[in-house]
Amino acid sequence: MSAPGLAAPLRAAILDQQRPAPPLESANQEGRCACAPIRRDRAVGAGLHSEWPRGSECACAQTTPGARPSAQTHGYRLLPLPGSGDMNPVVVVHGGAGSRVSQDREERVREGVARAAAAGYRVLTEGGSALDAVESAVAALEDDPEFNAGCGSVLNVNGEVEMDASIMSGKDLSSGAVSAVRCIANPIRLARLVMEKTPHCLLTGLGAAEFAAAMGVPAVPGEQLVTERRRKHLEREKQKEAQNPDQPKDLGTVGAVALDSRGDVAYATSTGGIVNKMVGRVGDTPCVGSGGYADNAIGAVSTTGHGESILKVNLARLALFHVERGTWTRACRLETREQAVCEQREERHWTRRRRCRWVT
């Protein structure tokens, strides 16, 4: 296969931040690269990270001692290794998709997202980790009543707040999550504690509440998390469902992804769920692979939308799967449960029993 044919897009979130790699110093006297494979399609040299095709020689092979392999010759780009301190920090924040924002709220919502992004970026510029940055950004959104998380969460059928959150580090794939939690101002911080202080990945309901108390997380009165706007929202939703049970619900989940100067990525996602939901309903947000995913070798994703639909395809990990395969330029959207639409005219491909067809 020719070099251009091997040139798959790599790590979308990292490539744009790439700086020129230093000269390769790991070539031995025979002119062979001393790289050692660490995963099925990656190799690591001294200060370099290069992608190479499964079952082939390393992209750095047959270089002369001290020489830098040609990315043009091999068809691959060399990336600074995580931990090299050679990345420009980035944070991306979303305030949720699918919710209708009235004109009187539009500016407040925009300012809230900007404040959250600034909070996360401040952490990064001060040398903090991607994990710290996404936690700070999402906590800021949880503290803002304009968003469906924390004190702005929508209400369940009984008029109560139940929240979900998850967080993940791309450095070692460690994660923590909580679901159906009540009386907690910042579920994302509790999810971080689950990740760091327990051998588990997810705690729910009463168990999560007991853990929060053991960790000294202050409980807040449930009514403190309920806003008047959300009460009216629930009343309207119940009236709509009485008239039309299939009426689409407003959706909203907040989240953030970040890349720090060491090359580590992370995600955080938090939500109050769907308005007028059944008590105990849990969506995609606390489910790693659906509500979000982070892997230094690929990138980071935080999802928002209809949780039950996202869960069916493990959307976050599926998106990164296509990034990893080099198919991320084919921006696919689910059109029906059985069909997907490929919005770019490239060769046909398959995704978990869904076939892409051309958009005409």
Q: Rounded to 5, what percent of the chain is helix, strand, coil?
A: 30, 20, 50
Q: What are 354's strand-pairing partners?
A: 351
Q: Closest by alpha carbon to 167, among 261, 281, 251, 287?
A: 287
Q: What are 267's strand-pairing partners?
A: 168, 257
Burial of 68 (0-12, 13-18, 19+ CB in 10 A): middle
Q: For residue 23, give both structure tokens.
A: 């000269």
Residue 265 CA to residue 338 CA, distance in Å, equals 32
Q: For residue 121, give both structure tokens.
A: 């970026």
Q: Answer yes or no: are the C-beta atoms of 60 and 43 closer than 8 Å.
A: yes
- Beta strands (DSSP E) in the chain are 36-39, 42-44, 48-51, 78-80, 90-94, 163-169, 175-181, 202-204, 254-259, 265-271, 292-295, 299-302, 332-334, 339-342, 350-351, 354-358
Q: For residue 338, give both structure tokens.
A: 């059985």
Residues that are catalytic: 253
Q: Closest by alpha carbon to 255, among 357, 159, 135?
A: 135
